[in-house]
C-alpha cells in the first residue's frame, strides 16, 4: 500500500476563527461535516463555505474548551462520525470517545424542511459500558476514536494505549440497536463480535486507530498515530502516522493487518495527526479519501487533506 498527499489546506470559519481540533469528518447535506472535539459546534463545509453547526448545547455556559482555560474536562470529545439513515432520512451520527462520563453522548444531525441542520443529543452511558465490557476493558480505559458502518453493524474502534493497558480492539454493534438508543426507544444493545489488531510500534509507541472507513469487501481502512501519552485524556508527541488495511478474521479474536503505509510527513517533518477519514471516491486500485487533522493547538487551524491510497 502507498499513500500520496494530493491536496492540503487550512480550515477556518468566515470570520477567520480556526476550525479547532478536527476529530472526524462525514458526508452531510451535500458537503462535509467536520467535528471539533473541543467545541459545541461542528464545521459544515459546503459550496466553498465553512459554517458552524451546533452539535451539543453549551456546557456550563461555554462553547469552546481548552487545557489552558482549565475546561478541557468539559469538552464533548466527539471522535467518530458516520453517515446513517433514520426513518428514511439521511443523517450524520457523531459519537463521543467515552473517555470520561461527560463523553458518553451521541449527536444525531439531520436537515429540517428548510435545509437547516438540527441536532438530537442522547446520553449513551449504558451503551458505552456494554461496549467496554465486550472489549474486555475497564470503563476508565475507554477511548473510542474510530467508527464506520459495515453492513448492518457499526464497527467501533478503541484507540490503543499500551501505557494504560488498552489494546487496539473493535466491537461490532447492531446499528439498529444503537440508533434506537439514540432515539430514546431502548437502551438494549446487541454486540455481535469483537476483534483485536496489532498495528505495531514506532520507537516503542504503539500505532493506535484514530478513525475508520469501510472499503472493499469486509475490509476497513484505518488511520493510526503513534502518540506518546500515558492515558486517554492527555496529548503527547506524535512519533508516526499511518494508514492500515484491516480484515476481520472469522475464526478467532485476532483480526489481520493486511497492509500498512506511512502517511507522508508535513513540510516541517512532523507526522500529521489525522483523526478523521471519509471516502471521496473508489478507484481501480485503491481509494481517494478526505482526511482532517488535529493540531493539538486551539489557535492553529485544522487541515483538510486529500489522500490517494494505492493497494
Q: What is the pLDDT of residue 12?
A: 97
Terminal C-alpha separation, the chain: 4
Dist. CA 247–CA 48, nearest whole Å:
36
Q: What is the pLDDT of residue 209?
A: 96
- On whether the CB atoms of residues 26 and 82 are closer than 8 A, the answer is yes
Dist. CA 26–CA 99, nearest whole Å:
22
Query: pLDDT digits over 11-20, tens only?
Result: 999 999 999 9
Domain limits for position 206 = 2-310
Domains identified in the chain, total number? 1
If pLDDT is split at 50, 70 and 90, which confidence band does 88 have? very high
- Between 118 and 216, the more confident residue is 118
The domain that contains 135 carries what CATH number? 2.120.10
Q: What is the pLDDT of residue 251?
A: 67
Q: What is the pLDDT of residue 214?
A: 96
Q: Per the structure block, which three cell numbers stand in for 203? A: 520507537
φ, ψ (nearest 5 deg) of residue 78: -70, 115
Mean pLDDT of the chain: 93
pTM above 0.85, yes or no: yes
Lay out the sheet containing 219-227: strands in order across.
208-214, 219-227, 238-247, 256-262
Q: What is the pLDDT of residue 292?
A: 98
Point out the least confidently predicted range of 64-73, 105-114, 159-168, 213-222. 159-168
What is the rounded average pLDDT of the residues 255-266? 94
Amino acid at each position: 500500500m502507498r499513500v500520496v498527499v494530493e491536496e492540503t489546506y487550512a480550515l477556518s470559519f468566515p470570520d477567520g476563527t480556526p476550525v479547532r481540533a478536527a476529530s472526524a469528518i462525514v458526508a452531510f447535506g451535500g458537503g462535509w461535516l467536520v467535528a471539533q472535539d473541543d467545541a459545541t459546534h461542528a464545521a459544515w463545509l459546503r459550496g466553498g463555505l465553512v459554517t458552524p453547526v451546533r452539535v451539543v448545547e453549551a456546557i456550563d455556559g461555554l462553547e469552546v474548551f481548552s487545557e489552558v482555560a482549565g475546561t478541557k474536562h468539559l469538552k464533548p470529545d466527539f471522535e467518530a462520525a458516520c453517515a446513517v439513515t433514520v426513518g428514511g432520512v439521511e443523517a450524520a451520527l457523531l459519537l463521543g470517545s467515552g473517555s470520561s462520563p461527560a463523553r458518553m453522548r451521541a449527536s444525531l444531525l439531520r436537515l429540517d424542511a428548510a435545509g437547516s441542520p438540527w441536532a438530537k443529543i442522547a446520553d449513551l452511558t449504558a451503551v458505552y459500558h456494554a461496549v467496554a465490557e465486550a472489549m474486555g476493558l475497564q470503563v476508565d480505559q475507554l477511548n473510542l476514536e474510530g467508527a464506520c458502518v459495515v453492513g448492518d453493524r457499526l464497527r467501533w474502534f478503541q484507540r490503543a494505549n499500551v501505557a494504560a493497558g488498552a489494546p487496539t480492539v473493535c466491537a461490532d454493534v447492531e446499528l439498529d440497536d444503537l440508533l434506537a438508543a439514540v432515539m430514546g426507544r431502548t437502551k438494549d444493545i446487541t454486540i455481535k463480535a469483537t476483534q483485536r489488531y496489532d498495528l505495531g510500534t514506532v520507537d516503542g509507541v504503539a500505532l493506535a486507530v484514530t478513525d475508520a472507513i469501510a472499503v472493499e469487501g469486509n475490509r476497513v481502512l484505518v488511520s493510526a498515530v503513534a502518540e506518546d501519552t500515558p492515558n486517554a485524556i492527555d496529548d503527547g508527541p506524535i512519533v508516526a502516522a499511518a494508514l492500515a488495511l484491516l480484515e476481520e478474521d472469522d475464526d478467532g479474536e485476532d483480526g489481520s493487518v493486511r497492509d500498512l503505509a506511512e502517511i507522508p510527513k508535513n513540510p516541517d517533518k512532523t507526522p500529521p495527526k489525522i483523526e478523521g477519514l471519509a471516502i471521496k471516491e473508489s478507484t481501480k486500485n485503491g481509494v481517494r479519501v478526505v482526511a482532517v487533522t488535529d493540531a493539538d493547538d486551539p489557535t492553529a487551524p485544522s487541515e483538510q487533506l486529500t489522500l490517494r491510497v494505492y493497494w
